[in-house]
Amino acid sequence: TDRYCVFGHPVGHSKSPQIHAAFAEQTGETIDYSAIEAPLDDFIGAWQAFIAKGGVGANVTVPFKEDAFRLCDTLSHRAKRAGAVNTLVLGGNGQTYGDTTDGVGLVRDLEHHGVKLAAARILVLGAGGAVRGILEPLLKAGAASVLIANRTAEKAERLAADFMDLGVIRGGGFEAVTGTFDVVINGTSASLAGDLPPLPDDLFANGATAYDMMYGAEPTVFLAWAAERGARPLDGLGMLVEQAAESFFQWRNVRPETAPVLAALRQSL
């Protein structure tokens, strides 16, 4: 049986084992998928030990995505851009290939909800690793423009500069947010603390979508705020399932159906 796992620290809260078990059952693939808490100072050792025990692929979550990026022998285009890896694949030659499926996961989830990205004016809140991972797929989906707004304006400006060759993108502080947007994506960790970035009340265009990359049993503060202002609220649970499906596809060359898995996961929150 091919072995897979998710590496994190902590990792006990991870829903990946549940999601991949559901994909395996649905597709008839026989895999063993576990959760492994890697030591903070030796991610490479954890990956090598896993390979030695028959591991052939892994997901990588906080705080190891940059460590995973550094250990790979080869990388996908989008992983190079993101500077992070959430999917490791052991090749037949013993080399490790790295990909990041977070951004494509977000784009697929938005598509499944009927959100049009082509020609959309997109506002992205935050400029950390999570945001870096979604910019290439958003721009490639045909966004008219992307504005990155962040508490630390300079980080948003630098991030935008890294993606300027892919489309119309700029960065600034929250005070730079003017006009209206079709899609507003919260990629800050502010909602973890129950905080809301300081945003103008009238930033949502007609029919706008508000997306929080976080999720929970209750709507995040950002989504509650957005819904009160007429936007359609979507949380990041769908993105989680879609990124997992893309990883599963990288490993098994089979695409699982995500809708039933997402519905079951939603029930269990």
Q: Does 189 bind ligand ATR (CB under 6 A)?
A: yes
- From the list 20-28, 190-198, 215-223, 248-256, the region that binds ligand ATR by CB under 6 A is 190-198
Instruction: State how far the alpha carbon of 209 is from the alpha carbons of 184, 195, 227, in Å.
Output: 6, 20, 9
Q: Does 188 bind ligand ATR (CB under 6 A)?
A: yes
Q: Does 175 bind ligand ATR (CB under 6 A)?
A: no
Which residue lies nearer to ligand ATR by CB, 33 or 43?
43
Burial 4-13 (b: 16+ CB within 10 A, else e): bbbbbeebee
Give phi and psi for 201, each to the nearest 5. Answer: -70, -20
Q: Computed from CA positions of residues 27, 32, 35, 37, in that sequence, does the dihedral angle turn out positive or negative?
A: negative
Residue 243 marked as a ligand binder? yes
56: helix, strand or coil: strand
Does residue 219 have a cis peptide bond before it, meaning omega lies within 30 degrees of 0? no
H/E stretch holding 267:
helix 259-267
Residue 154 marked as a ligand binder? yes
Residue 61 marked as a ligand binder? yes
Q: Give the residue ranges of DSSP H helices in 32-166.
A: 43-52, 65-71, 77-82, 102-112, 129-140, 153-162
Given 53, 65, 80, 140, the catalytic residue: 65
Give phi and psi for 260, each to the nearest 5. Answer: -65, -30
The pairing of strands 87-90 and 96-99 is: antiparallel
Looking at beta carbons, which residue is closest to ligand ATR?
128
Which residue lies nearer to ligand ATR by CB, 78 or 252?
78
Tell me the per-residue interface mask from 95 to 134 with ligand ATR, x by CB under 6 A, - otherwise: -------------------------------xxxxxx---
Which residue lies nearer to ligand ATR by CB, 130 or 135?
130
CB contact set of 143 (below 8 Å; sequence gap of 6+) = 117, 118, 119, 120, 121, 122, 167, 168
CA separation for the pair 217, 171 (Å, rounded):
32
Annotated active-site residue 116? The verdict is no
Q: Which of 193, 201, 217, 268 binds ligand ATR (CB under 6 A)?
A: 193
Please list every residue from 151 through 170 that binds ligand ATR, using CB under 6 A: 151-152, 155
Least distance from ligand ATR to the Cβ atom of residue 150, Å: 5
Which residue lies nearer to ligand ATR by CB, 72 or 199?
199
Annotated binding residues, written as ranges, equal 14-16, 61, 86, 102, 126-130, 150-155, 213, 215, 236, 243
Query: Active-site residues: which are they?
Result: 65
Residue ranges that bind ligand ATR, judged by CB under 6 A:
126-131, 150-152, 155, 188-190, 193, 195, 197
